[in-house]
C-alpha cells in the first residue's frame, strides 16, 4: 500500500509540475545517534539509497522536489543536520567540527545498511559531504555537490594574515549577526507561502547558536586563522576522491564564485562533471529545481 501511495504521489508530481505535490506528510521519520546526539532524517520510496544533506539556513524539506521525483526508483533520505529542526542541538563549538559532522552522516548511512549510497549535498552539507566521501569512499557510490568547492580547489593564493580582509564568514560569527537570526530572517529566502510556514516551524525548533557554530568551528575566519589548533586541523592532507563526482553551481551565487571550483579535477581520480546554471543563485536546488533534479537523476542512473 505504501508503494502505491508513493507511486501516485510521483505520478501527480510529474504530470502537473514539480513542487505542486507536497511530500511533507508522506515521508517517514527516523532517528539515529552519533556519540549520544540524536540525528533526525526522513525517508521516502524504496531501492538504492540517495542521501540528501542541506546547508544554512535550511532543513530536510529543501529537497522536497528532488525527493518526490527520485522516490519512484530510489529510497531517498534527507537529514536535519545537528542544530536544525528535529535533530539534537548540543552546546559548544567543538560539537560542530567537520570530524563530528562527518560521523553524523556516516551514522545515517550505517543505519540503512552498509551498502554505498548516492550522496547529494548543498552549502554546509556539501562541505561535510566532500570530507565524508574522502574519508569513507566505501560508503559513497556517487557524489553530487551543490555550490561548495572541494576543500583544496580554487586558485590557491597565499595571503598573509595581516593583509587578509574580513569576509562574509567573519560577519556570520559576529554577535550582530547572531541577533539578526530571527525566524522571519532565516525564512526570508523562501518564496513559496506554504513552504515558508514549514520553514518557520522548523526554524522555531532550531538553534541559532548551533548554526553559527558551523562557521566558528570550520570557516576561515580571521579568528580561526590566528588559531594554531584550527591551522593544524586545516593542514591534514586529504586523499583524492575515487567515485564519480557531479558539481552543480549557480552562476549568480553571491557567496561562492565559480572560480572556486578551479582545479577540482586534480583531486578526483574518476569522472568529474561541473555544471553551471546561469539563472541560479546560492539556493540552486530551489532556484532551478527542475534542472537540478534532472541533472541528479541522469547522473546517478548512468
Domains and CATH numbers, the chain: 2-168+232-301 (3.40.50.1820)
Reported as a single tens digit per residue, the pLDDT across 147-201 is 999 999 987 666 666 667 788 899 999 999 999 999 999 999 999 999 999 999 9
Q: In this predicted structure, what is the pLDDT of residue 15?
A: 37
The pTM assigned to this predicted structure is: 0.92
Q: Is residue 7 predicted with pLDDT exceeding 60?
A: no
Nearest to 85 by CA among 57, 66, 127: 57
Q: What is the mean pLDDT of the chain?
A: 91
Reported as a single tens digit per residue, the pLDDT across 283-296 is 999 999 999 999 99
Q: In this predicted structure, what is the pLDDT of residue 166?
A: 82
HEC per residue, the chain: CHHHHHHHHHHHHHHHCCCCCCCCCCCEEEEEEECCEEEEEEEECCCCEEEEECCCCCCHHHHHHHHHHHCCCCEEEEECCCCCCCCCCCCCHHHHCHHHHHHHHHHHHHHCCCCCEEEEEECHHHHHHHHHHHHCHHHEEEEEEECCCCCCCCCCCCCCHHHCCCCHHHHHCCHHHHHHCCHHHHCCCCCCHHHHHHHHHHHHCCCHHHHHHHHHHHCCCHHHHCCHHHHHHHCCCCCCECCCEEEEEECCCCCCCHHHHCCHHHHECCCEEEEEECCCCCCHHHHCHHHHHHHHHHHHHC
pLDDT band at 60 (very low <50, low <70, confident <90, very high): very high
Q: In this predicted structure, what is the pLDDT of residue 159?
A: 61
- C-beta separation of 126 from 55 below 8 A: yes
d(CA 275, CA 296): 11
Q: Is residue 209 predicted with pLDDT exceeding 90?
A: yes
Reported as a single tens digit per residue, the pLDDT across 268-283 is 999 999 999 999 999 9
Which segment, 13-17, 21-25, 237-241, 246-250, is predicted with the most confidence on average? 246-250
Reported as a single tens digit per residue, the pLDDT across 229-269 is 998 888 888 999 999 999 999 999 999 999 999 999 999 99
Amino acid at each position: 500500500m505504501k508503494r502505491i501511495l508513493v507511486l501516485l504521489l510521483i505520478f501527480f508530481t510529474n504530470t502537473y509540475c514539480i513542487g505542486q505535490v507536497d511530500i511533507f506528510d508522506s515521508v517517514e521519520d527516523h532517528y539515529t545517534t552519533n556519540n549520544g546526539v540524536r540525528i533526525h532524517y526522513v525517508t521516502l520510496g524504496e531501492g538504492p539509497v540517495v542521501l540528501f544533506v542541506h546547508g544554512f539556513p535550511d532543513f530536510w524539506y529543501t529537497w522536497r522536489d528532488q525527493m518526490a521525483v527520485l522516490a519512484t526508483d530510489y529510497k531517498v533520505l534527507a537529514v536535519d543536520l545537528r542544530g536544525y529542526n528535529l535533530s539534537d542541538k548540543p552546546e559548544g563549538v567543538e560539537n560542530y567540527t567537520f570530524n563530528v559532522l562527518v560521523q553524523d552522516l556516516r551514522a545515517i548511512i550505517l543505519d540503512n545498511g552498509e551498502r554505498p549510497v548516492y550522496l547529494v549535498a548543498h552549502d554546509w552539507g556539501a562541505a561535510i559531504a566532500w570530507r565524508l566521501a574522502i574519508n569513507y569512499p566505501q560508503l559513497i557510490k556517487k557524489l553530487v555537490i551543490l555550490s561548495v568547492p572541494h576543500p583544496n580547489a580554487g586558485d590557491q593564493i597565499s595571503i598573509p594574515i595581516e593583509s587578509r580582509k574580513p569576509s562574509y564568514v567573519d560577519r556570520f560569527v559576529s554577535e550582530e549577526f547572531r541577533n539578526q537570526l530571527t525566524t522571519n530572517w532565516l525564512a526570508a529566502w523562501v518564496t513559496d507561502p506554504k513552504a515558508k510556514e514549514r520553514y518557520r516551524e522548523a526554524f522555531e525548533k532550531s538553534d541559532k547558536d548551533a548554526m553559527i557554530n558551523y562557521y566558528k568551528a570550520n570557516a576561515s575566519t580571521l579568528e580561526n586563522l590566528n588559531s594554531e589548533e584550527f591551522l593544524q586541523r586545516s593542514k591534514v592532507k586529504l586523499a583524492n576522491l575515487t567515485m564519480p563526482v557531479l558539481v552543480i553551481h549557480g552562476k549568480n551565487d553571491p557567496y561562492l564564485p565559480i572560480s572556486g571550483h578551479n582545479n577540482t579535477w586534480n583531486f578526483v581520480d574518476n569522472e568529474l562533471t561541473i555544471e553551471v546554471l546561469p539563472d541560479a543563485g546560492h539556493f540552486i536546488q530551489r532556484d532551478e529545481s527542475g534542472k537540478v533534479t534532472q541533472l541528479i537523476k541522469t547522473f546517478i542512473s548512468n
